[in-house]
Structure 1
């Protein structure tokens, strides 16, 4: 069974010092890199997404001068700026597919974006026969949630690696994980992801 690792939005604007910094973002970037160092060969596809918003528009109402931090947000992850780049603590050498999303429109799920050659995340997973995916990244209660739900909707068995995600708010992150579990996702720690069965 082919397996994918989906790395959601580990970008400078979502980690410490960024425009929409999430507490623990740098720690997630570093921990995902350590996990990749140990487990990249376990995956047939390693896909990383980035918000890649347009500088000269509000991106379909996504940007707002007085954001409500629910459906509207301050300017962040503008294409070709430092804020849109991967956090430098995230090692991307093992990434097989890079997805950009939110180009002119709100987009939370990596399934709403595309690779440089225009392929959707769903198409990439289908092409490689991926039936299972582990999801990590930022933010638990927004883009991780949306990406994991879309993966489930595309028939993929999802595990959320709970120590490799960080959320905007603890309560909404807990609610998002509960929602994902109810939708069929497994919630596991990264150190349990590839444990050998007990003999």
Structure 2
């Protein structure tokens, strides 16, 4: 019996890579590295899902966008607004192999890919029914990768974070996020 596997690519978008509104150091390298993974091992995955922050253009998205100076904890500068260049995938990421696209953060904070839906309204948890192993890559380790990984552990038996294909905002907060994921049952690869 074969294990049903999936890959979750979290928020590899222009606003989260170098030069973006909330760009993290190493973001472009993650995008390029995920493309190599897809080229070399994409056939190993039955599902390849990518999430994107996709915030509404009108309004503050339930306080997600700061009205003054952002605190970078509960509110942020405007980023990943639906239909803008910042919300698009990083150009280093080859999107051709993707089987599903999940948009999150529509009218809300939406850190976890499990908060999002596909164009037809399917939730990520529904896509992953029957998946036994989920590999997670993407941005940012200490925010959306963390939240997506924690939620994944409630839906998939084996969750692996591919540590050479993630990048975070801060070193200490990223290490803490990885520790939290391991404590809940994820494996670092």
Q: TM-score range by the shorter chain?
A: over 0.9
Please say if 1:33 is aligned against 2:35. Answer: yes
Residues of 1 paired with 2:59 and 2:7: CA distance?
32
Quote the residue 1:8 is aligned against. Answer: 10
SS, match of residue 153 in structure 2: helix
Quote the residue 1:195 is aligned against. Answer: none
Q: TM-score, normalised by structure 2?
A: 0.97
Quote the residue 1:163 is aligned against. Answer: 164
Residues of 1 paired with 2:141 and 2:37: CA distance?
18
Please say if 1:111 is aligned against 2:106. Answer: no
Quote the residue 1:197 is aligned against. Answer: none
Q: Which runs of structure 2 are paired with 1:177-196 in the superposition (5 Å)? A: 177-188=178-189
SS, match of residue 28 in structure 1: helix
Kindly state the Cα deviation for residue 163 of structure 1 after the two structures are TM-superposed.
0.5
Identify the match of residue 60 of structure 2 among 58, 63, 71: 58
SS, match of residue 37 in structure 2: helix
5+ residue gaps, structure 1? 189-199
Quote the residue 1:130 is aligned against. Answer: 131
CA RMSD of aligned residues (A): 0.6
Residues of 2 paired with 1:3 and 1:62: CA distance?
33
Residues of 1 paired with 2:127 and 2:135: CA distance?
15
Kindly state the Cα deviation for residue 134 of structure 1 after the two structures are TM-superposed.
0.2
Residues 41-86 of structure 1, C-alpha deviation per residue, up to 9 Å, x if partnerless? 0001000000000111100000002110011100000000000000
What number of residue pairs does the alignment pair up?
186
5+ residue gaps, structure 2? none
Q: Which runs of structure 2 are paired with 1:72-91 in the superposition (5 Å)? A: 72-91=75-94
Residues of 1 paired with 2:141 and 2:65: CA distance?
20
Q: TM-score, normalised by structure 1?
A: 0.92
Q: Is the 8 A contact 2:131 2:156 kept in 1?
A: no
Kindly state the Cα deviation for residue 154 of structure 1 after the two structures are TM-superposed.
1.5
